[in-house]
Amino acid sequence: MLIHNPVKIQVKRRDFLKAAALAGLLAAIPAVSLYSQDPAVIDGWYDGLADALNKLPNSFPRTKSNIEITLLKKIFLPEEARLAGQLCGKEESVNSIAQRVELSEAETASRLKAMEERGLVWGNADAGLFRLAPFVVGIYESQMERMDHELAHLVEEYFEQGGIEIMRVQPALHRVIPAQGATKTEWILPYDKLKELMISCNTFRVNDCICRKQQDFVGTRKCTFPLHVELIFYTGNESAVPPVLPYVTKEEALAVLDRTEEIGLVHTVSNVAEGIYYVCNCCGCCCGILRGITEFGIEKSVAAANYYSVINPEQCKGCGTCIKRCQVRAVSSQDEVSAVNHEKCIGCGLCVTGCPHHAARLERKPEEEIINPPKDFATWEHERLVNRGLETADPTPV
């Protein structure tokens, strides 16, 4: 987390970041390309891209300082910004995109494919369909190989100056999955059976956590949790040649899931019931979504699981393990035993899996309090757009 020093941020560091971003552009593209356009025109491309990102369901809040423009200049080349700014959240054919941006179909396809490989757009190159990727979850997470000191500080400053508002809109970006070792098979909700879902897949990968990597570059990481804990899983072509590195076996992936519960990380996934293909294992000091709760006061920056923790005061020995393991500070000591603030509890179950005296347990919320996640990503996007006033709700059936 940055030290709150308005003078330093507004004068010294911002000037440095802007100069560094411009220097990066000069090094990355030929001078003839950069100066073939009026600088004001190029700035307009980035401004258009920022607006296009903000029209997506995930949002990309604009700030008074326009720090987001400097951030986008670090990630997108000018011609990429021009092209991406013409896209929206719906997949379109290369042909229709090419006509709008006044490029040949072949050139448009080539550029979009290269941008897809860098995570700047989403789509299907074989089918010739593309859409703009959101900043979070999307573009930011794709910067793993390009994350450096400059980009890390730009992201941090953007969140500080208003970008964190991405986490305020509902439905939340992510939802909490309870620790699989803390749940009872007879009452766990179907969409929370993470281990079963993973077992049904045949292809697995483990990535580094982008949030911890970013915090390492910022230089303010408060934890010692491992980087290599993001799990991706799906069902691939079983007749294909066995996958190569960085893919892992099912057993290795499940071991990572178990290990993250053991050391005290929160499982979070896309806030949908169907179509889950990754799980982030999060801490409250690095994860941008959980920091919404722990640092920015956004209570619903993550969708809580439909469970709550209960600590039996008769069994609690006051060792404080659950307090240390709670990533959102929902557990505290009262009269020498631990107690849970149910208003803050996100139902992750880490206090249960870590209690050496078996004093903690998860309970399923009453049916009237259960909030089911959106059915799928399309439903989630629609609900988010409706709540942002960018789309109308479905008419009530007669």
Angle at 394 between CA 392 and CA 398, to 5 degrees: 135
**pLDDT single digits (tens) 383-396:** 999 999 999 997 55
Q: What is the pLDDT of residue 7?
A: 34
3-state secondary structure the chain: CCCCCHHHHHHHHHHHHHHHHHHHHHHHCCHHHHHCCCHHHHHHHHHHHHHHHHCCCCCCCCCCCCHHHHHHHHHCCHHHHHHHCCCCCCCEEHHHHHHHHCCCHHHHHHHHHHHHHCCCEEEECCCCEEEECCHHHHHHHHHCCCCCHHHHHHHHHHHHCCHHHHHCCCCCCEEEECCHHHCCCCCCCHHHCHHHHHHCCCEEEEEECHHHHHHHHHCCCCCCCCCEEEEEEECCCCCCCCCCCCEECHHHHHHHHHHHHHHCCEEEEECCCCCCCEEEEECCCCCHHHHHHHCCCCCCCCECCCEEEEECCCCCCCCCHHHHHCCCCCEEEECCEEEECCCCCCCCCHHHHHCCCCCEEEEECCHHHCCCCCCCHHHHHHHHHHHCCCCCCCCCCC
CA distances for 13 relative to 19, 22, 53, 71, 157, angstroms: 10, 14, 25, 13, 10
- Say if residue 22's pLDDT is above 80: no
Q: Residues 227-252: what's their mean pLDDT?
A: 82
Quote the tokens at residue 316.
Answer: 């609690």
**Higher pLDDT residue, 22 or 366?**
366
Largest CA distance in the chain: 75
Count of Cβ atoms closer than 10 Å to residue 393 Cβ: 10
Contact status, residue 52 vs residue 59, Cβ threshold 8 Å? no
Closest CA to 111 of 77, 75, 78, 80: 80
Closest CA to 209 of 268, 258, 249: 268
Quote the tokens at residue 304.
Answer: 């809580």
Angle at 325 between CA 263 and CA 363, to 5 degrees: 105
Q: How many residues does the chain have?
A: 398
**pLDDT single digits (tens) 135-182:** 999 999 999 999 999 999 999 999 999 999 999 999 999 999 999 999
Q: What is the pLDDT of residue 29?
A: 40
Q: What is the pLDDT of residue 239?
A: 57
* Distance of alpha carbon 292 from alpha carbon 119, whole angstroms: 24
pLDDT band per the 50, 70, 90 thresholds, residue 26: very low
Count of Cβ atoms closer than 10 Å to residue 118 Cβ: 16
Q: What is the pLDDT of residue 395?
A: 55
Q: What is the pLDDT of residue 394?
A: 77
* Distance of alpha carbon 346 from alpha carbon 237, whole angstroms: 36
Contact status, residue 377 vs residue 207, Cβ threshold 8 Å? no
Q: What is the pLDDT of residue 23?
A: 47
Q: Residues 305-319: what's their mean pLDDT?
A: 97
- Look at the block and give the residue holding tokens 């892992």: 248
Closest CA to 232 of 241, 223, 222, 243: 243
Closest CA to 73 of 20, 113, 11, 8: 20
pLDDT band per the 50, 70, 90 thresholds, residue 15: low
Q: What percent of the chain has pLDDT over 70?
A: 88
> Buried (b) or exposed (e) across 360-376, using 16+ Cβ within 10 A?
bbbebeeeeeeeebbee
Q: Global pTM?
A: 0.88
Q: Residues 194-220: what's their mean pLDDT?
A: 96
Q: Residues 198-208: what's their mean pLDDT?
A: 96
Q: What is the pLDDT of residue 398?
A: 42
Contacts with 214 (C-beta within 8 Å, 6 or more apart), sequence order: 147, 151, 152, 155, 156, 286
Average model confidence (pLDDT) across the chain: 91
- Say if residue 242's pLDDT is above 80: no
Count of Cβ atoms closer than 10 Å to residue 6 Cβ: 7
Q: What is the pLDDT of residue 245?
A: 60
Count of Cβ atoms closer than 10 Å to residue 186 Cβ: 6
Q: What is the pLDDT of residue 306?
A: 98
**pLDDT single digits (tens) 325-376:** 999 999 999 999 999 999 999 999 999 999 999 999 999 999 999 999 999 9
- Say if residue 41's pLDDT is above 60: yes
- Say if residue 286's pLDDT is above 80: yes
- Say if residue 13's pLDDT is above 80: no
- Say if residue 30's pLDDT is above 80: no
Q: Residues 32-57: what's their mean pLDDT?
A: 86
pLDDT band per the 50, 70, 90 thresholds, residue 238: low
Q: What is the pLDDT of residue 6?
A: 37
Domains of the chain plus CATH, in order, are: 6-160 (no CATH), 170-369 (3.30.70.20)
Q: Residues 111-129: what's their mean pLDDT?
A: 96
